[in-house]
Chain A
């Protein structure tokens, strides 16, 4: 009792249509909720690199998009107080031991680091993941530093003649992070006017 091919095609098509409809319905139902959660998450991660005291706006919605050095778009979240931009935060990318290390860098209007946090990485647990704030306080050492202090040639890990500690057993990750922060600050220095301009 072999059935014709079109019969099976209809069965399969019916299941696809049915489950497709269920998924589309769920998507509509959850979309607003998920978008709201995304903004909240972004706010929470920005709150770690931009102190609440320096802004009275919502940096997540007060964002501008700029072209990065490599041509990729960078979203710059801006902290505004009164009519002045008091600080900016944007994502920087370093090259770690296991691929890209994504970090959020907060800089005040003078070019001083407000804070750095690792947002996503695949570094080795127990070695490279010490860049996470919940594992060690290493990442907080950047706070308050700027391109002049320490001098540019000291923006390296100690092994390379700089002033930043590496971890025992892991040099590549901190090297990548220090380099990314330095480049992030150089980007700020080069595009300061555009970032701080109030529109």
Chain B
């Protein structure tokens, strides 16, 4: 089985995108997309965990027996999350203050688990790593787009607080699109998450239909 990196990338970014293709990871998607910056941060932390756990499972896949694979996968994801949490708290504390709340939430995301089971358990190390990276980037992009839509409608800003997350050099990204106090509050409340995700999902399906692609309902085993 030779690895097809083009397909891995396309799957992760668009065709089989974690949020808009497989409808996985809905819990952090709804909770953390109140602004584009929040979505981006959550996505980034998830991408790191996904790449690391995909890599580890692919490395150890010869030793993980079928019967105990699920507990081992959960163990690996949880260990990676804790590692990221501890190291960020110690050495990237400013970033941790912004992202710290989101990181434990990654455990409740079943996208990493799904990729371990569906990809890393069967494929060699390098393709598995790339699958984790591209699935992670796809997840990050989806969350950023949902966050951007909700933030523009809800608060009238885009990428507010980006400098807190990415450093002062990114101050220029913080833009105000609508005048203050004109936002529709609903968009940043929980219902807004469902509305924005649903509308964007419909947009993606329309684009796919235009392109003549066959629409397959993604295999959502669990919506964690």
Contact = CB atoms under 8 A, between A and B. Distances in A.
A16 B76 CA distance: 9
A162 B95 CA distance: 41
A8 B189 contact: no
B185 interface: yes
Contacts, number: 61
Given A22-B79, A23-B83, A12 B68 contact: yes
A8 B65 contact: yes
Interface residues of B, number: 27
A126 B65 contact: no
Nearest to B96: A37
B65 A11 contact: yes
Contact of B185 (A27, A37, A126): A126
A124 interface: yes
B72 A22 contact: no
Interface string B57-95: 000100111011001100110010011001101110100
B46 interface: no
B65 A3 contact: yes
Nearest to B72: A15
Contacts of A7: 65
Interface residues of A, number: 23
B144 interface: no
A26 B87 contact: yes
Interface string B175-195: 000000001010011000000
Nearest to B79: A19
A179 B71 CA distance: 48
Given A12-B71, A23-B83, A37-B93, A124 B65 contact: no
A183 B161 CA distance: 34
Nearest to A30: B90
Residue among B79, B91, B185, B189 with most chain A CB within 10 A = B79
Interface of A: 3, 7-9, 11-12, 15-16, 19, 22-23, 26-27, 29-30, 33-34, 37, 41, 124-127
